[in-house]
Structure 1
């Protein structure tokens, strides 16, 4: 079995391994990819290849500041805590804003201490991001070949490549994405990762997000908080 945490780090553009498993930076990359990775964030990660093949993708055109599993967990954690604070505050009193852009979620349900839990979380998020990339239905056979060719430039082992290719080839299955959200915290992370993976101006992808939020049973206020936080990561 490949290391899901390492692969998710590569998706999210993290230059270091996850805290639980000291993943090494990927090597053997093309100069263009290394240049993107040096800027940090999802646009420089593996997701930039999978989600940025089409010029319509917002992710490919913007400089995405988010990078690494811990940063994604921090984003989701802040959105969730901001929403909870708003729920608990008196109606006439707005809750004070959380100053830390990416609070440390280490040891929380957003970034569990147990490595096995992190593996499961990482797999769920990986599958959610790939599913979101397919939401507009525009990844055709030619685009698949282009993505597969660029995957060959990366330092991925056979199992990692097979996982990505298999997930790309599968029909879009929102049921599987929702089923993987076994905790409310993971549901928030899955939705945040999916928001990062779509073009906010594409009607088909917006429809997918609306359906995903509904199926994940995210309250409107929580969904808004997640989208607000993810929007801050795109310049």
Structure 2
């Protein structure tokens, strides 16, 4: 499966919507304004994130490179956290998605997409009709049947932060998954905020790293 390719397509779609280049999606056009900046609506990513509630994904992450930019933000957060650890005698180069060759980047992409789907389900807004619309949009973006079936299966699964967190094979992957989740949730929503807290626990994130990721997410979301 080419999960990285699909994620790149989703981020590109979001970037075009934010910049006004993408026109209106056949499923849910335009974009709305929400707290903190431009909010994404329309297209597969907009449907997934619940455009009716004016959700957004970090403007800079979309505008300046999408998936690779997410890795850059995670790299900065992870590096800052390492520097804060007085017990860390030797700091290693963070192996975030922007630093990796294709096979490892694909594994990271798979985990990040699972995290985004989980975060999108955190408020329970995806019903059968919306799921069908999302499936149709994903089918337009990729002809990979296995990937389409996997995506649909992820949407249908009961939300389980522990199961999602099990995809994090490395600390950097855990950081990227949490960062992506922070970028797409509405932290004013109690259900979504509670989901984030449990996801961080299941990912076994150091509290200082969690705080650093949240700080970097706020900066990345500024438009």
**Same fold by TM-score greater than 0.5:** yes
**RMSD in angstroms over aligned alpha carbons?**
3.1
Superposition pairs of residues 182-197 of structure 1, within 5 angstroms: 182-197=169-184
Residue 164 (str. 1) matches residue 164 (str. 2)? no
Aligned partners of 1:42 and 1:66 also within 8 Å: no
Aligned partners of 1:53 and 1:143 also within 8 Å: no
Superposition pairs of residues 156-235 of structure 1, within 5 angstroms: 156-159=142-145, 160-235=147-222
**TM-score, normalised relative to structure 2:** 0.76
Which segment drifts farther, 187-196 or 142-151? Answer: 142-151
In 2, distance between residues paired with 1:15 and 1:204?
24
| Change in 2 beyond 3 A, CA 1:120/1:81 | same
User: Segments of 4+ in structure 1 off by > 3 A?
Assistant: 33-36, 41-46, 148-152
Cα deviation, residue 195, structure 1:
0.8
Which runs of 5 or more residues in structure 1 are unaligned? Answer: 17-28, 90-106
Q: Residue 104 of structure 1 aligns with which residue?
A: none
Cα deviation, residue 15, structure 1:
9.3
- CA offsets, 1:82-101, max 9 Å, x none? 12223349xxxxxxxxxxxx
In 2, distance between residues paired with 1:121 and 1:63?
19
**TM-score, normalised relative to structure 1:** 0.72
Which runs of 5 or more residues in structure 2 are unaligned? Answer: 16-20, 32-37, 88-92
In 2, distance between residues paired with 1:46 and 1:65?
19
- CA offsets, 1:5-43, max 9 Å, x none? 101112333799xxxxxxxxxxxx97314987xxxx994
Q: Give the length in aligned residue pairs.
A: 197
Superposition pairs of residues 1-235 of structure 1, within 5 angstroms: 1=1, 3-13=2-12, 31-33=23-25, 43=40, 46-55=44-53, 57-59=54-56, 64-67=59-62, 68-88=66-86, 108-111=94-97, 112-151=99-138, 154-159=140-145, 160-235=147-222
Identify, as 1 or 2, the structure richer in helix: 2
In 1, distance between residues paired with 2:102 and 2:14?
19
